[in-house]
Amino acid sequence: MHYAALVGYSPLYPELAERVRRDLLPATQQYIQTYEINAPWWWMGDLAHNTSAGGEHLWSSPSLAHDLFQTKAWVLRESWNTLAHQLPLPMSINPRYDLYRLHNLATLLALYATNAHQVYVPQISRRSTSP
């Protein structure tokens, strides 16, 4: 299994994400799961080893980590906390200009802004001081 990107999921426009979620959610969940099983280090981007290829294909493509992250965010709608821990590493070639990383960070911010992160915030109530 060696693909540079998720076939059919890139670029993942909002309309495509909604359609895939509505019509292909079980197939997408299985597709993502196969990548996670075969390459649990997918979030390492271009530093991740490919398990089924060698030579010039030994290293994974950074676009694969980007596509997986975007699909998990917009189609599978994984939690903000989960995605924050799976944010792909910057590209090793030139991390300063990594547009994949920038897009993934913008996605995290968008999810945070929509309260999709569901972080538990305890409510502090004042105790009554009356006897």
- Write the pLDDT tens digit of every residue in 3-31: 666 788 888 888 899 999 999 999 999 99
Average pLDDT, whole number, for the chain? 79
> Domains of the chain: which residue ranges?
14-113
Residues 6+ apart with CB under 8 A from 61: 4, 5, 46
pLDDT for position 51? 60
The residue type at 74: W
In angstroms, what CA-CA distances link 29 with 46, 67, 72?
Answer: 23, 14, 9
pLDDT, one tens digit per residue, over 32-78 is 998 888 878 888 877 766 665 555 655 667 788 889 999 999 999 99
